[in-house]
Structure 1
């Protein structure tokens, strides 16, 4: 079954729209709508052009696949997603509802921009059981995972391998996650650098093993010394290291004209980039779009930082194709407007010269 995704935004909210709209058992819907589990996004059923659609309110949330486009998935986010899946599965089991209704796709799992809580979409009639869906999600996350955390990568692969098993238990994943949490909380062994003479290199050994390491090195050195003495007593000769003769070879003369060729200023490539000139009342500065993709937001890791409480951490993204710049809203909390038009999430709009761009209530002009 192919699920179609589309997006719509107005002044009040941002929605993800899914079709086809499948309905579950009446008692399931009644149970969910009465209890409304936290971090489970329940859809509204709307009819458009004779077709029923599922509308999910995703205002102020960013999908996992969007986060993965901005940067590698950190181990902390990876664990948070896994723990949230297990927790939501347990909540649904407590309501006697199959956790298969969770749509575990990167584009339908969301992080709240304010609380950083993980949210899932409820989709009745999901053809995949949660075990397979979770395995496919892990496969996606592994490809996007930041591999700098060795323990984290090991845990991720352990989870992935475990979910290969037929009929594995979601609850069993909690044990792997607990073990991972324990491993992360154990302080790393302090190491000292020791000169290893035999191999002419430095080696790092744990401090608690320092005495053993030094003793081992001295034992090896003693064996080498006694071996030399034995060989001398037996009338043998110790081979001397061969010293390669040094041969002086004059460097070829360099033509100074070739070494520093004259470059005409007209031949230098012109630096071309777009500019967002600030026209608001705050303390923001001009943004020079000297590369793409160019992320704009209030977070310090953005390419263009707008220090405003109304601007989301990762608010919008600018890309370029040929000479044309495009802008898209990253499902920010307060929206992005171009030429007075509010952008839908994930929809790219071209930027025209002298066009106004509003990031929440901060006004810029593209030049």
Structure 2
């Protein structure tokens, strides 16, 4: 229990903590002589031979008071957690002990911009892992439940904090990776919005040039196809099953029930041995072992033992416990659907000599690239409508959702740089292969017409589709 009080004067507001613990001179000197980013400024006062630590909390409020009747959004939760972890890491650079940081919401202070300042109390010595887990649980109850992004973010942090060996690096990696994905989604949405707004004007402005572009495209296709002659050599590799981790609640016997059960079994064995030692099984007249008496003795004790165990191991003595669960998925969902309306939306066409009584020609303005499936029964061709083009199994966050459990959420992307094309694996579980060679994660590799592209065990061929409808 922290013995604290508050003081307000013309200089500012202060949190005062009275401590009778023996303090480390080193830690105290570090705090008094250095302004450590993310930590509250400290002054030491001695009153009646008792040390008082004065923490400057001017313009700040405790987390508990700031979040009273307020629901946090994703950006706010992310900033609080990121700055808390970075403050602890900064303190460790000054050799401050991590277990002396106070992460109690009553003593964790923030500005209106959610900039975090921690209280460091020498001698506090409370496990930082338990403190961090408690802080995350507190924030889980403060997140706006209408903010799906915030809920998924705080739950991801909670899962990491409950691992056997959680680290600050794991938490920061999760936070940074989450931010990168959100930045990618935001850029992608902005790009789609700009493309749709300019599509109509492009059709009118380029009307006179479309036939020339179409002719140029046909000759370009012919040159590229003739210059590339790749063999469709099939290569089969083992597929790693996707590992899904989750938690589930199971009912287990309490330690007390197990302990009493073990004790009763030991007592049963001891009583049987004592009966043998004190010759309770012997016939005194014939001076030999009486089998009937021995089995009767064991049967009576056994009946009592079974009754006692049935009471101790009754289902009412079970208690709930959270247990980690790991599943490996290898069933491939081969049902894949295509949306024709989406393709029509993204196609730029020319309405040439429009007349309701005449035939209308729709001519592609530019080359159309596709990934042609080598297994057309289970997987359809993928039409690449824009660059960069992202593949994965998240419906709303990639350009093409491939319905298969061996495909990662963000699996790969194809982008155009000048006249060339490049494919990049996005750190997928089962990998991306170019002509049977596995790509390194986040390293672009040049892609040519006719190249074989395999995502996990699903194979395509990169080609050009020149359509005239």
TM-score (norm 1): 0.48
Q: Which structure exhibits the higher relative contact order, with contacts defined as CA atoms closer than 8 Å and separated by 6 or more residues?
A: 1
- Rg comparison, structure with higher value: 2
